Amino acid sequence: MQADFLDAHQRHLDDAERLFQSGRLANADHLYGIASECGLKRLMVAFGMAVDTLTGDPTDVNKDRKHVDVIWARYETYRSGHHKGTGYPLPASNPFGDWAVNQRYAHQGNFDAARVQPHQAAAQIVCELIKKASREGLI
């Protein structure tokens, strides 16, 4: 199947919100990270990230096939190099610095609202950038 970062961003964020509202914080936290990663990758494509035409996967495996804890900073490479990038900044501090994809194996008791809410807020920042990019015809 071909990667569709925009669709993945939207559905993971929707599911994360539903899980958060239901008190399923561990899975909500995981999906906030995945949703943010997908949204940022969609923007990175718009800013020039090369992808395989058959799979949609980033071609720079060592730098761009990473998760949000790394992609948050990597996004800046593409944004700063694009003439429309100035309107799409992220906060300098990476809110996903304490997030890792392998947390999906962690016990759900390790997750509370104080841990999840910064990831939720960051996912909303990415969502707003996606909406802006759509309105402005960037994506």
Q: What average pLDDT score do residues 41-62 get?
A: 96
User: What percentage of the chain reaches a pLDDT higher than 90?
Assistant: 98
Predicted TM-score (pTM) above 0.75: yes
Q: What average pLDDT score do residues 115-129 get?
A: 98
- φ, ψ of residue 125 to 5 degrees: the values are -60, -45
User: What percentage of the chain reaches a pLDDT higher than 70?
Assistant: 100
10 Å CB burial of residue 82 (0-12, 13-18, 19+) is: middle
pLDDT at 17: 98
Q: Say which amino acid occupies 130.
A: I
Q: What average pLDDT score do residues 95-114 get?
A: 97
Question: What gap in Å lies between CA 88 and CA 133, rounded to an integer?
Answer: 8
Q: What average pLDDT score do residues 95-112 get?
A: 97
pLDDT at 76: 96
Q: Say which amino acid occupies 37.
A: E
pLDDT at 117: 98
**Within the chain, where are the H helices?**
5-21, 25-46, 61-64, 68-80, 113-135
Q: What average pLDDT score do residues 100-106 get?
A: 96
pLDDT at 69: 97
Q: What average pLDDT score do residues 79-106 get?
A: 95
pLDDT at 4: 97
Question: What gap in Å lies between CA 35 and CA 123, rounded to an integer?
Answer: 7
Question: What gap in Å lies between CA 7 and CA 4, rounded to an integer?
Answer: 6
pLDDT at 64: 97
Where residue 58 falls (left for φ over 0; alpha for ψ -120 to 50; beta otherwise) is beta
- Architecture of the domain whose range is 5-135: Up-down Bundle (1.20)
44 pLDDT tier (thresholds 50, 70, 90): very high
Domain ranges of the chain: 5-135
- φ, ψ of residue 58 to 5 degrees: the values are -60, 140
